[in-house]
Amino acid sequence: MEITIKGVKHGPSWDALQAMVRDMTDDEQATFTRINRRDKGVNYRANGVYDVTIRTKDDDTIQLVLTVA
């Protein structure tokens, strides 16, 4: 899964993004289990590219690439 957000000052809150993913996948139990900035930065609201692992209700994983520019 890939999500790109352009023209913003910072990324969405992780709770808001998780709620959006839950809605889009029709899985109210989907949970972010890993969030990594590709540039190894420490500001997790800053623009950049993020690799996110999501655990589903069926115990599967979804890989999400989030780009915030």
Tens of pLDDT, residues 16-66: 999 999 999 999 999 999 999 999 999 999 999 999 999 999 999 999 999
Query: Which token pair is 27?
Result: 């899985």
Q: Is 21 exposed, middle or buried (0-12, 13-18, 19+ CB in 10 A)?
A: buried
Residues of the domain holding 44: 2-68
Strand ranges of the sheet holding 2-5, from the earlier edge strand across to the other edge = 2-5, 61-68, 48-55, 31-37
Number of domains in the chain: 1
pLDDT for 52 equals 98
Query: Token match 């500001």: residue?
Result: 43
pLDDT for 51 equals 98
Selection from 57, 37, 59, 35 nearest residue 47 by Cα: 37
pLDDT for 25 equals 95
Rounded to two decimals, the pTM is: 0.91
